[in-house]
């Protein structure tokens, strides 16, 4: 347990530093300083800065996947019984919640994953594609049922995720709007975007 919580502390400190000044400008020494431990003893826990980035990105990806899976469990996502409006609202709310619950990790996931080495970056890209497919399938289902206005489903799914992934760039827990209210707004904006005039 001590080991797990130490690793988690490293990820949290690194997330805040990567978020505040970027991955490029953060050194392992900076992370150690943030933890008030000496550089060499940090290297007992992490072998490189990229390993820390990978740990943060991998865990964030897992949280997005689990939240989407849980949201999908709440509504039927198998056509023809699926309610595309409820399914999309659930996916959007789950995504926003993962961001606002740990905005430091979400910011690193969204903004810094490209700094991973080739193999890990390819693995993240693969998972992002699978995740985006969930959104696209709901868009397609909604067009089929007439709940959503005709559009390019791939482009619309990408647009929805881009809209949500802007949140870590500005969200502050102590900001003007509470997390739940932000989720409400984004569910509304996304459904408007998909439903258009037919609502």
Cβ proximity to a second copy: between 67 and 156 the closer is: 156
- Among the listed residues 71, 89, 94, 182, the single contact to a second copy using CB under 8 A: 182
Whichever of 141 and 167 has its CB closer to a second copy, that residue is: 167
Q: For the segment 41-60, give every residue that binds a second copy (CB under 8 A).
A: none
- What is the closest distance, in whole angstroms, from the C-beta atom of residue 117 to a second copy in the complex? 8
Is 188 a binder of a second copy (CB under 8 A)?
A: yes
CA 150 to CA 140: how far, in whole Å?
Answer: 9
Piece of 5-13, 93-101, 136-144, 149-157 that binds a second copy (CB under 8 A): 149-157
Residue found by looking up tokens 């995740």 in the block = 131
Considering beta carbons, is residue 37 or 158 the nearer one to a second copy?
158
Question: CB of 109 within 8 A of CB of 131?
Answer: no
Binding of a second copy by 195 (CB under 8 A): yes
Burial (CB count within 10 angstroms: exposed 0-12, middle 13-18, buried 19+), residue 128: middle
Identify whether the C-beta of residue 138 lies closer than 8 Å to the C-beta of residue 91.
yes
CB of 3 to a second copy, least distance (A): 28
Task: Check: CB of residue 110 under 8 Å from CB of residue 157.
Answer: no
Phi, psi at 22, each rounded to 5°? 90, 155
Complex with a second copy: residue 37 or 123, whichever CB lies closer: 123
Map residue 140 onto helix, strand or coil.
helix
Tokens at 14, concatenated: 């690194």
86 part of the interface to a second copy, by CB under 8 A: no
Can you tell me which of 21, 29, 126, 133 binds a second copy, judged by CB under 8 A? 21
Judge if the upstream peptide bond of residue 80 is cis by omega within 30 degrees of 0: yes
For residue 196, the 8-state DSSP code is G
Cα 41 to Cα 66: distance, rounded to the nearest angstrom: 33
Q: Which of residues 90-129 bind a second copy (CB under 8 A)?
A: 111, 114-115
22 binds a second copy (CB under 8 A): yes
Report the interface residues with a second copy, using CB under 8 A.
21-25, 111, 114-115, 149, 151-152, 155-156, 158-159, 161-167, 169-170, 177, 182, 185-186, 188-190, 192-197, 199
């Amino acid at each position: 347990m001590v080991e797990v919580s130490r690793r988690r502390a490293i990820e949290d400190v690194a997330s805040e530093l990567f978020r505040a000044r970027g991955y490029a400008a953060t050194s392992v020494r900076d992370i150690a300083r943030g933890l008030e431990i000496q550089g060499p003893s940090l290297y007992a826990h992490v072998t490189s800065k990229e390993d820390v980035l990978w740990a943060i990105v991998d865990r964030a990806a897992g949280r997005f996947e689990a939240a989407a899976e849980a949201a999908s469990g709440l509504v039927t996502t198998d056509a023809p019984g699926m309610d595309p409006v409820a399914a999309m609202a659930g996916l959007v709310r789950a995504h926003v919640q993962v961001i606002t619950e740990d905005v430091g990790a979400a910011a690193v996931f969204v903004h810094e994953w490209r700094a991973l080495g080739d193999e890990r970056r390819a693995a993240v890209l693969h998972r992002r594609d699978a995740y985006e497919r969930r959104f696209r399938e709901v868009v397609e289902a909604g067009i089929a049922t007439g709940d959503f206005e005709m559009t390019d489903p791939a482009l619309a799914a990408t647009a929805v995720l881009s809209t949500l992934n802007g949140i870590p760039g500005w969200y502050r827990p102590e900001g003007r709007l509470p997390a739940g209210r932000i989720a409400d707004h984004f569910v509304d904006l996304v459904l408007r975007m998909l439903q258009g005039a037919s609502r």
